[in-house]
Amino acid sequence: MSSPIISIDHANFSYVTFTKQSGFSGAWHDLFHRQKSTVAAVQDISLQVNRGEILGLLGANGAGKTTLIKLMTGILPANTGDVRLFTDQVPFRKQPAFLQRIGVMLSQKSQLAWDLPALDTLVLLREIYHIPHDQFNNWLAFLTKELAVTPQLHVPVRKLSLGQRIKFELICALIHRPEILFLDEPTIGIDVSSQANIYRFLKQLNHDTQMTIILTSHNTKDIEALAQRVAVVNHGKKIFEGTTTGLISRYATVPILEIVTDGPLTHIPVHVRQVDPTHYEVDATTLATLPIDPRQILSVNRRNSDLDAILTQLFSEEAPKR
């Protein structure tokens, strides 16, 4: 068994914020006394990722996902604990050889030059990462074809749609063929077909090149579509680690089935409760089979089996202790 490509051991990170008061007197007050508070963004997190894995980091806004990504990529140093990539690299040291092996895409931040075509930024990255010309051209042709943005390569970035821009951000992160790809909220704000395109491409990439992919999202679709394993972070702490189905089966414990029928049932069996003429709830605790004629059923859902619902519940339950 080879050693993990990413290994985080009891990492902690906290930062200091200043609270600003509103209004005139508030501004006056801030002039002399600024109120400091320490926020623990990552608390005692341990995590290991193997080569070729796709790991999803789930969490609400401000849960610490992005901070975790920044610890792994070396943007931030861990206060305590240990973060290592490729067994011996400490990310924060930012050794050029290390930076050469990772690719990062941060949503909300852009590395594309606004007034120039994306190609220009990519050419700059070619020089920064010392990529041989022919290798660069072939790989770029492949990437733009797969992501369906070849015609946009020569269009100034400011004239691209958000989806096209995100795809080029992704290409920027991939242009030097990193071994680990970090994606922070990769599909935020883009349409469903672009999302599907990106998912398919990333899956194929992972399959073909064994590229390790770490992605954060609060969009559970991203995670369900891609991740083989998830870690759920809430208020800086890891509260779950495992597969998505594992997550569902662990938290979707209430065995209530929600059934939609094509019309009202003539007879309502025991254990079945009518919500409205075509919606029924079945308490399946003691049942081995469904007490409703399958021919009448349009859909069956286990309540609480939806990832979103589970996460909503999880995030609201685990209140922070301060």
Partner 1 sequence: MFKIYRVLVTQSLAETMTYRVTTVLTALFGILFYVIELITGGVYFSFTPTIYGWSFLDYLNLITTANLISYGYQFLFVAAHEDLTDQILSGNLDYSLLRPVNSYWFHACYRVDFPSLVTLLLTGIIEGVILARLHPTPLNLLLYLVAVIVGIAFVFTLNQIMVTLAFWVDGLTALNGLPEDLMSASARPAKIYPRVIQQLFLWVIPSLAITNVPAQFGHNRPTWLLLWTTLVTGLLLVISYVEWQRGLLKYVSAN
Partner 2 sequence: MKYWVTCQNALMTTLAYRGNLFLHLLTTAINVLVTIFMWLAVYNFSGRSDIAGIRPNQMVLYLIVVNVLALIFSAEPIFKFSGLVRSGNLSVVLMRPINYFIQSFWDYLGRAIPYLFVYGLATAIVSPVFHRGLLYGLSSFLLMVITYGMFFLLVTAISLCTFWLVQVWPLRPVLSALFLLLGGQAFPLQVLPPAFSWLIYNPFSLAGNQLTLLLLGKLSLRQVATAGSWAMLWTVVTLALLKLTWHRGIRSYEGVGS
Binding site for partner 1 (CB under 8 A): 15-16, 67, 70, 73-77, 94, 96-97, 99-100, 102, 104, 106, 109-111, 113, 115-116, 120, 123-125, 127-129, 156
Q: Which does 322 bind (CB under 5 to 8 A by kind): partner 2, partner 1, none?
A: none
- Taken in order 185, 55, 50, 135, is the CA torsion positive or negative? negative
Site for partner 2 in 100-119 (CB under 8 A): 115
Q: Which does 32 bind (CB under 5 to 8 A by kind): partner 2, partner 1, none?
A: none
Query: Which tokens sit at 216?
Result: 């954060």
Query: What's the 3-state SS for 58-120?
Result: ECCCCCCHHHHHHHHHCCCCCCEEEEEECCCECHHHCCHHHHCCEEEEECCCCCCCCCCEHHH
- The single-letter DSSP state of residue 297 is E
The smaller minimum CB distance to partner 1, of residues 58 and 180, is found at 180
- What gap in Å lies between CA 55 and CA 10, rounded to an integer? 18
Q: Are 112 and 153 in contact (CB under 8 A)?
A: no
The smaller minimum CB distance to partner 1, of residues 90 and 113, is found at 113
- What gap in Å lies between CA 56 and CA 68, rounded to an integer? 12
Q: Are 182 and 102 in contact (CB under 8 A)?
A: yes
Query: Which tokens sit at 173?
Result: 């992160």
Q: Please state the closest distance from residue 289 (CB atom) to partner 1, in A.
A: 55
- Taken in order 250, 252, 257, 261, is the CA torsion positive or negative? negative
Q: Please state the closest distance from residue 46 (CB atom) to partner 1, in A.
A: 22
Q: Please state the closest distance from residue 95 (CB atom) to partner 1, in A.
A: 8
Q: Which does 24 bind (CB under 5 to 8 A by kind): partner 2, partner 1, none?
A: partner 2
The smaller minimum CB distance to partner 2, of residues 27 and 268, is found at 27
Q: Which does 27 bind (CB under 5 to 8 A by kind): partner 1, partner 2, none?
A: partner 2
Q: Please state the closest distance from residue 94 (CB atom) to partner 1, in A.
A: 7
* Binding track over 5-44 against partner 2, x by CB under 8 A: -------------------x--x-----------------
Residues contacting partner 2: total by CB under 8 A: 4
Q: Which of 158, 207, 273, 279 binds partner 2 (CB under 8 A)?
A: 158
The b/e string for 143-182 (b: 16+ C-beta within 10 A; e otherwise) is bbebbebeebbebebeebeebbbbbbbbbbbbbbebbbbb
178 three-class SS: coil
Q: Please state the closest distance from residue 107 (CB atom) to partner 2, in A.
A: 16
CB neighbours of 245 closer than 8 A, spacing ≥ 6? none
Q: Please state the closest distance from residue 29 (CB atom) to partner 2, in A.
A: 12
Which residues would be at the binding site for partner 2 (CB under 8 A)? 24, 27, 115, 158
